[in-house]
Amino acid sequence: MSVSLDRELRAELAASEREGTLKQLHMIDSPQGPEVEMPGHGRVLVMSSNDYLGLAAHPEVIEAGVEGLRRYGAGTASVRFICGLFAPHLLLEADLADFLGSEAALTFSSAWAANEAVIPSLCDGESWILSDELNHASIVDAIRLARPAAKIVYPHADVDALAAALAKAPRGARKLVVTDGVFSMEGDIAPLPAIVAACREHGAVLIVDDSHGTGVLGASGRGTAEHFDLQGEVDVTVSTLGKALGGAAGGFVAASRAVCETLEQRARPQLFSNALAPTVACASRAALAVLRAEPERVARIATGVAALRNAVSEHGLAPLGGESGIVPVLVGETARAIAASHAMLERGVFATGFGYPVVPEGAARIRLQVSAAHTPEQLERAARTAAEAVGAAVVES
């Protein structure tokens, strides 16, 4: 054991604590939902969960997971190509492909792993990768793992810059354009119509990470492409099973059969990491079935977002604009976001403060997230509490 390593790390952690930037993890002692039991804080209103559709503790989702555990045990105990896979994996993949209108789908143990599968596997030494500067960390890291001929990070949502960069790519080179559908820290939606047009003009492949769009955007929750009436125009959709679709864990790729089969053959997270737990495959199928049967849940998110945005503004805060389930309220310094988050929790509302390095220095924020399960009263309380807490954090800082 290295004593000096521990000493150095302790000093760094202590410095973060002194600066007020140390993250604190909170224990939850009940299933995820609009309210949870939090030891030391009692019953707390949750505004920081990705359980957008309110399905994490849905009886049919739980029952399907339990049934999957009973029928298949804990898991494959190896990667798919070594030890096989269970029927629920294939059934879930068929359901996801059918839902998103793709030829095929392939599941992974996380959307993080799915991005790390897609981007390096589709990139060759001649390829150009073009990526929005605010793309999720898993995309940033996946691009680091790929070895493209050129890596262009274009300014956030700047399609003119994207098109100008695409125009410079050599003719025969494969061009991969990667964007979040909904940007997780800003809550804004990628300008997909213009991105699709640029990709088509320049013969580029469009990869959209719709982890915060799936189940949230579009009349039936099919995500960012449905929101813009562009279904069928995204070449590769990456998304998560760890947010709207049950909230357990897991990710998937929805794309052509050729893409999915290539990933099955080549992608390192597929070849060297275990398959999704069958419990999760079964629970996620049930979550998707509830979404399809009850699309009104998606409409409830939109109504809740509008109500929360109104209430936040009425209480004197200025949320960043957007239509997704994410409503960020900028507060400035990291320490202030963390202090405001603590002050909210003291008042019985759980909303995480995000600071550097997750967001740029000086742009720290409280991120509020709306679920179909929130009541109007809960959203009003969240807005009022956020305003009080941000005010209190000013006085304290």
The residues annotated with a catalytic role in the active site are 184, 212, 243
Smallest distance from ligand PLP to CB 182, Å: 7
Task: State yes or no: residue 136 binds ligand PLP (CB under 6 A).
Answer: yes
User: Of residues 240, 279, 284, 324, which one binds ligand PLP by CB under 6 A?
Assistant: 240
Binding mask 139-178 for ligand PLP (x = CB under 6 A): ----------------------------------------
Distance in Å, CB of 41 to ligand PLP, minimum: 24
Q: How far is the CB of 267 from ligand PLP (least distance, A)?
A: 15
Q: Does 138 bind ligand PLP (CB under 6 A)?
A: yes
Name which position in 55, 92, 111, 166 contacts ligand PLP (CB under 6 A): 111
Stretch that binds ligand PLP, among 12-20, 105-113, 125-133, 304-312 (CB under 6 A): 105-113
What is the distance between the alpha carbons of residues 325 and 320, in angstroms, rounded to a whole number?
12
136 versus 300: smaller Cβ distance to ligand PLP: 136
Minimum CB distance to ligand PLP smaller for 97 or for 358: 358
Residue from 76, 110, 270, 371 in contact with ligand PLP (CB under 6 A): 110
Please pick, from the candidates 131, 211, 279, 385, the single residue that binds ligand PLP as defined by CB under 6 A.
Answer: 211
What is the side-by-side order of every strand in the sheet holding 251-255?
104-108, 251-255, 236-240, 205-209, 175-180, 128-132, 150-154
Among candidates 126, 103, 114, 100, which has minimal Cα distance to 213?
100
352 binds ligand PLP (CB under 6 A): no
Q: With respect to ligand PLP, which residue has the nearer C-beta, 49 or 76?
A: 49
Identify which range of 107-115, 310-318, 334-342, 368-376 contacts ligand PLP by CB under 6 A.
107-115
The CB-of-258 to ligand PLP minimum distance in angstroms stands at: 23
Residue 179 in tokens: 């964007």
Pairing type for strands 150-154 and 128-132 reads parallel
C-beta separation of 142 from 180 below 8 A: no
Distance, CA of 379 to CA of 267 (rounded, Å):
42
| Site of tokens 């896979």 | 85
Nearest 10 degrees: Cα torsion 308, 38, 357, 190: -40
How far apart are CB 189 and ligand PLP at their closest, in Å? 12
Q: Say whether residue 56 binds ligand PLP (CB under 6 A).
A: no
Number of amino acids touching ligand PLP (CB under 6 A): 13
Tell me how far apart the alpha carbons of residues 263 and 254 are, in angstroms, rounded to a whole number.
11
Q: Contact with ligand PLP (CB under 6 A): which of 21, 49, 127, 184?
A: 184
Q: Least distance in Å: CB of 242 to ligand PLP?
A: 4
Enumerate binding residues for ligand PLP (CB under 6 A). Answer: 110-112, 136, 138, 180, 184, 209, 211-212, 240, 242, 251
